[in-house]
Amino acid sequence: MTKKNPNPIDVHVGNRVRMRRMLVGMSQEKLGEKLGLTFQQVQKYEKGSNRVSASRLYHMSIILGVPVQFFFDDMEVTKEGSQGDGLAESGSSAAVMDFLNSSEGIQLNRAFSNIKSATVKRRIMELVKAVASSDETG
């Protein structure tokens, strides 16, 4: 029996669920409890191995405090809307999602979100861009 690969859309939605859940500091167990599910079911949604129904996705959006569209943001779609490579995350998008889902990405995002001053946020962005460009040049 061959193992079926998850649909790229389900994987993307699952990644977005996981990212948002971690950003708000909620465990899989707590999200599952609020949805009436086990943490294992939440885990399967986050991996994309189980498809999230529309009503459950709507409920997740309320619990996690985001619009439903959030779960589809940054998803690349082909003109035809086919399930070809166009729905899979591009290399750079996948790298960003991997970072955002990492412990460091979550910590950085939380800390940055706590900064109130727009000026300080802008200066931090400029600093990070400068460090990144100097790192590329050697």
**Other Cβ atoms within 10 Å of 67 Cβ, number:** 11
> Per the domain annotation, does 64 fall within a domain?
yes
Provide DSSP, 23-89.
HTT--HHHHHHHHT--HHHHHHHHHTSSPPPHHHHHHHHHHHTS-GGGGGTT----TT--SSGGGSP
pLDDT in tens, the chain (138 residues): 566 888 899 999 999 999 899 888 899 999 999 999 999 999 999 999 999 999 999 999 999 999 999 999 888 765 444 444 444 445 566 677 677 777 788 888 888 888 889 899 889 888 888 888 887 766
| Total structural domains within the chain | 2
Q: Domain for residue 77, yes or no?
A: yes
**Contact criterion met (CB below 8 Å) for 20 and 66:** yes
Q: Does residue 107 form part of some domain?
A: yes
- Residue 135 lies in domain: 102-138
User: Is residue 47 domain-shared with residue 1, that is, in the same domain?
Assistant: yes
79 occurs within a structural domain:
yes
Output the domain CATH number for residue 59.
1.10.260.40
pTM: 0.65
